[in-house]
Chain A
Amino acid sequence: GDSVTQMEGPVTLSEEAFLTINCTYTATGYPSLFWYVQYPGEGLQLLLKATKADDKGSNKGFEATYRKETTSFHLEKGSVQVSDSAVYFCALSSSNTGNQFYFGTGTSLTVIP
Chain B
Amino acid sequence: NAGVTQTPKFQVLKTGQSMTLQCAQDMNHEYMSWYRQDPGMGLRLIHYSVGAGITDQGEVPNGYNVSRSTTEDFPLRLLSAAPSQTSVYFCASSYSGSRNEKLFFGSGTQLSVL
Contact = CB atoms under 8 A, between A and B. Distances in A.
A, B bound: yes
Counting contact residues on chain A (CB < 8 A from B), the size range is 20 to 34
Main secondary structure of the interface of B (DSSP, over half): loop
A82 interface: no
Interface residue tally on B, bucketed by range: 20 to 34
Contact of A44 (B44, B97, B105): B105
Interface stretch (B11-19, B35-43, B64-72, B78-86): B35-43
Contacts of A94: 99
Contacts, number: 53
Contacts of B59: 102
Contact of A49 (B43, B58, B102, B108): B102
B4 A51 contact: no
B107 A42 contact: yes
A9 B44 CA distance: 19
A41 interface: yes
Given A44-B90, A94-B99, A100 B48 contact: yes
Interface in A9-34: 31-32
A105 interface: yes
Given A42-B107, A44-B43, A104-B42, 9 more contacts: A42-B108, A43-B4, A43-B92, A43-B108, A44-B90, A44-B103, A94-B99, A99-B98, A101-B103
Interface of B: 4, 33, 35, 40-45, 48, 58-59, 90, 92, 97-100, 102-103, 105-108
